[in-house]
Amino acid sequence: MFGDLDKYIVVFLVGLVVTYLLTPVVRSMAIRFGVVDLPDARRPHKSLTARGGGVAVVFGVHAACLVAVLISGPMLAGALDLLWWQKFAMASLVLLVVGVIDDVRGMRPLIKLGGQVAAALIMWFSGTRFGLLLGYNLPAPVDCALVVIWLVAIINAFNLIDGLDGLASGLAIISAVGLCGILLMQQSPGEVLLLLGFIGACLGFLRYNFNPASIFLGDTGSMFIGFTLGVVSLQTFNKNTFLISMAIPIMVLGVPIYDALLAIWRRSVRSWVSGKNGGTKRGIMQPDVEHLHHRLSKSGLSTKRVATFLYLLNGGLVVFGLAIMLFQSHAAGIFLIALLAGVYVLMRQLAVIELRETGSAILTGLRRPTHSTLKALAYPAWDMIWLAGSLALIMWAVEGQRVDFWHSWFVDLPIWVTPTFSLLALSRTYVTYWPRARLRDVLMVLFWLQTGIIFSLGLALIIDPESGSTWLLRAVLVAGISHPVIVTSRLIDRCIEELVLWLKRQGDAAGEPERVVLYGAGVRAQLFLKDRAMTISKKPDGRQILGFVDDEKGLHFQWVYGFLVLGGLKELPLLIERQRVSRVIIVSNLLPESRAAICEIATRTGVKLSEWQPEEHEVILSAT
């Protein structure tokens, strides 16, 4: 397939050797001119370290490209010809200037973004295209916008992930190897030349960048790495279906893309919440210490283990990307399996902060509505849309009415929607404040929904008794589609509240929280947990609730209000020792002998004891 393999070996070695030899020179110059990184909360290295090493990578890659031109003639790599390389070198020069200035003296984020956009526009004018979208040729302005968005996104993804020794350069090598495999499967071996020089350059730099690093890529290197991979990944778009075109780069560039999406999500939520609370508004460009590598480091992993873990994770995603390309007939299934598995693992383990803060933000918005009239109309409009929409869906998809469909639907609306909607309106469901609702309120909504659909079925049977089976099926389907959504819309804020509380507990478990056992699993305990949930969404209390202690033996080792009943008063001393309990909170109306017993246990074991009481107290009024 390749013909003469020597040129591929030579291009790889040129990138490797040039970068390997040039990196110490760049490091010496960086130290001489004070272009260094000092250790801080965002940089875990132990001593002063040179930055700006990406200059060596840029020269190494372009030296490999120059050799490839000399060996292969004017056609460098298929679509990546000599003219393309000239444009690529020009765009790289723009990023090089921007990166060096940022590494040496710093640069405003918007100016740096402008340089990234300029480099992306140069590539678009050189002929780099996004390609087809769902089988349609994109208009030039749309194609240009997509190319710029894609390249800027990948540039910043690698820029954000570059916070640990050897991480960005190692991930770049793994991603480039994956792209090489995909290009080979596409029968485009010539286009691998650029990537081989790129891999060689990154390997040459990794020798000095792996832990303990003596030089960092800096913005010069991280932006160039992301830019190169973004440009080459666009070459795979035009030769595949839309699903494969999008799935391959998402898989191959998976870890940096995921980290960038989390950063955007996290910072956007914080920016919105800070503006709502009236404090200093936090910008989305404001850095933090909660990227993937920061979280793994905080979990106790060493720098090498963190880098290795993310290498393996990205390698697994690359394997899925190659499998999608190899088994194109099963591409959709492979992509969905990989996506679901990846989302589960990453969201479960690495997106706790984003989920927790998003839940808190949603609760803030639900509890502090700014447009009360609009909010009052939301539930009726939502219910009407789902009732009418489910009827239309059933009539079109199940009953097969094609002729005069909209007329038939409009005629049937008063029969199948009006009774249910009227009963909901006549009940108090639209004046209930659902974040503070009780189980009785939810049951009443269910009751009126079922009553309404039964009433509609009765009307339909009176009008046309011969179509009884059709009306019965319609009633079941309308109820099955619309009713769960209507009820869930009332409970969504409570579900978010429970999720936020659970995530708060997960976050507390990672530190050194106060370990608490609740004494009593009755109604007062439920009130305590609700009150805590309302306050913890705004400010964590630093406590981890381990479970309940209750004297009712029938509750032992059962789950109550989301917590396990660990035993009774007799088991409490042993629980305090085994579970390292630091506080017992009484959330029950105790008998005098039970109170005396628990006070004696607290004194003997040295745990803190407190009591939560929601009872009514008489207010003593002073005479005026």
**Residues of the chain above pLDDT 90, percent:** 11
Residue 345 lies in a domain: yes
Q: Please check whether residues 425 and 285 belong to one and the same domain.
A: no
Q: Please check whether residues 289 and 244 belong to one and the same domain.
A: yes
- What's the confidence (pLDDT) of residue 35? 81
Q: Are 583 and 609 in contact (CB under 8 A)?
A: yes
Pick the range with the lowest mean pLDDT from 67-81, 303-317, 346-360, 596-610. 346-360
Pick the range with the lowest mean pLDDT from 366-370, 428-432, 512-516, 539-543. 366-370
85-139: per-residue pLDDT in tens?
A: 888 899 999 999 998 998 888 888 888 889 999 999 998 888 777 766 555 577 7
Q: Please check whether residues 316 and 204 belong to one and the same domain.
A: yes
Most confident of 297-301, 308-312, 349-353, 450-454: 450-454
The predicted model scores a pTM of 0.59
Q: Please check whether residues 283 and 319 belong to one and the same domain.
A: yes
Q: Please check whether residues 379 and 298 belong to one and the same domain.
A: no
Q: Please check whether residues 481 and 539 belong to one and the same domain.
A: no
Q: CA 267: distance to chain centroid?
A: 12
Domain range for 432 is: 372-495
Residue 184 lies in a domain: yes
Non-local CB neighbours of 292 within 8 Å, separated by 6+ positions? 161, 255, 258, 259, 262, 310, 350
Q: Are 116 and 223 in contact (CB under 8 A)?
A: yes
135-185: per-residue pLDDT in tens?
A: 557 778 888 888 898 899 888 888 888 777 788 888 889 888 888 887 777
Q: Please check whether residues 284 and 406 belong to one and the same domain.
A: no
Q: Which residue's entry shows tokens 């009591």?
A: 611
- What's the confidence (pLDDT) of residue 370? 47
Residue 622 lies in a domain: no
Q: Are 128 and 147 in contact (CB under 8 A)?
A: yes
d(CA 287, CA 289): 7
For 81-103, what is the HEC assignment?
A: CHHHHHHHHHHHHHHHHHHHHHH
d(CA 390, CA 478): 6
Q: Please check whether residues 38 and 162 belong to one and the same domain.
A: yes
Give the chain's domain count: 3
